[in-house]
Amino acid sequence: MKEKVSSFSNAAFALAGLLFLAVSGGILGWFRQPRELRLDPPVAADLDRFRLMPNGISGSPPESYFAIGKPYESDAYNLSQGKRLYAWFGCGSCHGDGRGGVGPSFLDGWWLYGPEMVSIVASIRDGRPHGMPSFRDRMTSEQIWQLAGYVQTIGSYTPQVAAPSRNDDEQTRPAENRGPAKILFDEGPVGVHPDQGPTP
């Protein structure tokens, strides 16, 4: 009898364990985020081969980008790397904390060239008229994609779980993961808006 009870309790223990395993495994598998610290060189080279529409707005990323699971839009590590690049490359000197200034605002969710990754990547890589410089020679393709993913997060309408949180700085606006930016807080004075400013 004693043996029987203990073998039953062992079975129950295993069962409960499996249950937990399945449930939390499912939850965590959803958020699985392996870090690619050194991108495969062919994949990195391929990141440059996206195709843009003739007007420079929207287009399609390279096939390999889908094959690696669109990491630059959904992966916390890449987004936080993008946030660091935003600071290191002085994006804030024109775009502020996302509210704009000399350059256009990201926070208002209004995209001069559309919200697609390739548009943003093209803007960073090749530059745009009216003052946006080209960063082609200053950053690697991977870094450009990381930065683009982060910039896309700033103006997103729905907060992303993977978006970075606040920095250890003075707080000027809620963190990226506290979005959606447009609804949550007043964006303040904006920069050039397409309705008022020059055509792209």
Which residues sit at the interface with another protein, rule CB under 8 A? Answer: 1-2, 4-5, 8-9, 11-13, 15-17, 20-21, 24-25, 27-29, 31-35, 37, 76-77, 79-81, 161-162, 164-171, 174-175, 177-178
What phi and psi values does residue 51 have, to the nearest 5 degrees? -110, 135
Please, which residue, 24 or 140, has the CB nearer to another protein? Answer: 24
Query: Which residue lies nearer to another protein by CB, 84 or 130?
Result: 84
DSSP state string for 32-98: -----SS--HHHHHHTT--EE-TTSS-EE--HHHHHTT-HHHH-HHHHHHHHHHHHHTTTHHHHTTT
Phi-psi region of 116 (alpha: psi -120 to 50; beta: other; left: phi over 0): beta
Instruction: Identify which of residues 2 and 51 has a Cβ nearer to another protein in the complex.
Output: 2
Least distance (Å) from another protein to the CB of residue 55? 35
Minimum separation from the CB atom of position 112 to another protein (A): 29
Whichever of 10 and 134 has its CB closer to another protein, that residue is: 10
CB of 194 to another protein, least distance (A): 31
Closest CB to another protein among residues 61, 179: 179
Q: What are phi and psi of 61, to 5 degrees?
A: -70, 165
CB of 4 to another protein, least distance (A): 6
Report the C-alpha gap between 112 and 195 in whole angstroms.
Answer: 10
CB of 83 to another protein, least distance (A): 8
